[in-house]
Amino acid sequence: MSPILQAENLSVRFPAGREGWFGPKREVQAVSNVDLSLFAGETLALVGESGSGKTTFARALLGLVGHSGGTMRFDGADIAAMNRTARQAMRRTVQMVFQDPFGSLDPRLTVASIIAEPLRIHNIGSAATRRERVRALLVQVGLPPDAASRYPHQFSGGQRQRIAIARALAPAPRIIIADEPLSALDVSIQSQILNLMAELRDRAGLSYLLISHDLAAVHHLADRVAAMYLGRVVEVAPRDALFDTPAHPYTRALLDAVPRIGAGKRVPGGALQGDIPSPLAPPPGCAFHPRCPRASSVCAVEAPVLRVLAGAHQAACHHPLEIAA
Ligand code: ATP
């Protein structure tokens, strides 16, 4: 099966001012040489500590930030080489749901206008067919039809996220990028939104790129999981393989912070030690080595590359943990 969306060796850098008044210009390497593919109908989750580059990676895929190296492909075609029509068609196909369902909805617009916005942008349908589509989408996301004429502030956080999901679904996308879609919601509402996302995916054959700190949510929704650390993918594996037998000590530590998920044995005290290093001066070799309980001298000098350990289980580590074959 070929991927719908594919990043090859993708890198994103941000300028970060000078060191002192006259020092050299500095850069944050937010995403470093990332290879990741998203396949039709699958949910790929990105996990990792704050600042590991998850959002920047997703924004680069959408063309919202420029990339400094590598290639992005949509249905096999290089996005950078696309003409305007092809790029617009792609934009319609890849929609985004954000963390803050209030901030992402224009408070001056009715719910109907908000949901119909991508239809207007992409010139889809007449006013009458858009109204019809909005009605159908409200039903699909579990909101009452009279929601159409109301405003965002008249809804709860969970309902606003349903509105944001309806808007994302409006142009019948194939891919939804969901960046922390649950983190602004009450815990009691989170599972409802998670179930809605799963139901919509299964019904419409959507692919999700899910960015989340919430490993329970990732476990519930994802088919595959990629762990990022300081801009790099350090492990990628099918969900159960990653949760049950993580190979990278970093992934292991992330999971150890949430004891109830995954069947793998937990090492007491295995949770992450120390702070994430400055992205302005990442450690040489494996960027995780100063925090890693398994680090040896090679880890301080040689950056490990992502390699296949078994089947679809890949990790970038000189001393991976033992995994199930
Ligand atoms: P979080 O979970 O907190 O959202 P993340 O894993 O999504 O974090 P990013 O937001 O992608 O991480 O940030 C990756 C790195 O890039 C961080 O060091 C961040 O400070 C930096 N960064 C992100 N956006 C910018 C920007 N517009 N300008 C400068 N630096 C940026």
Q: What distance in Å separates the CA atoms of residue 210 and residue 218, rounded to the nearest whole number? A: 8
Distance 258 CA to ligand 1 centre (A): 24
Distance 55 CA to ligand 1 centre (A): 7
The burial class, CB within 10 Å (0-12 / 13-18 / 19+), for 153 is: exposed
**Which phi and psi angles does 320 have, rounded to 5°?**
-65, 155
| pLDDT for 174 | 95
Q: How many CB atoms lie within 10 A of CB 84?
A: 7
Q: What distance in Å separates the CA atoms of residue 28 and residue 280, rounded to the nearest whole number? A: 5
Note whether 166 and 95 are within 8 A (CB): no
Which residue's CA is the nearest one to ligand 1's atom 22?
30
Nearest atom (ligand 1) to Cα of 65: 27
Tens place of pLDDT for every residue, the chain, 325 residues? 789 999 999 999 999 887 777 778 889 999 999 999 999 999 999 999 999 999 999 999 888 898 899 999 999 999 989 999 998 899 999 999 988 877 889 999 999 999 999 999 999 999 999 999 999 999 999 999 899 999 999 999 999 999 999 999 999 999 999 999 999 888 889 999 999 999 999 998 999 999 999 999 999 999 999 999 999 999 999 999 999 999 999 999 999 887 665 555 555 445 677 888 988 889 999 999 999 999 999 999 999 999 999 999 999 999 999 886 6
Q: Distances from the Cα of 60 to the Cαs of 12, 34, 64, 314, in angstroms?
A: 8, 11, 6, 23
| pLDDT for 215 | 94
| pLDDT for 170 | 95
Note whether 222 and 45 are within 8 A (CB): yes
The angle at the Cα of 159, spanning 214 to 41, to the nearest 5 degrees, equals 55
| pLDDT for 259 | 63
* Ligand 1, CB within 6 Å, residue ranges: 14, 28, 30, 48, 50-56, 279
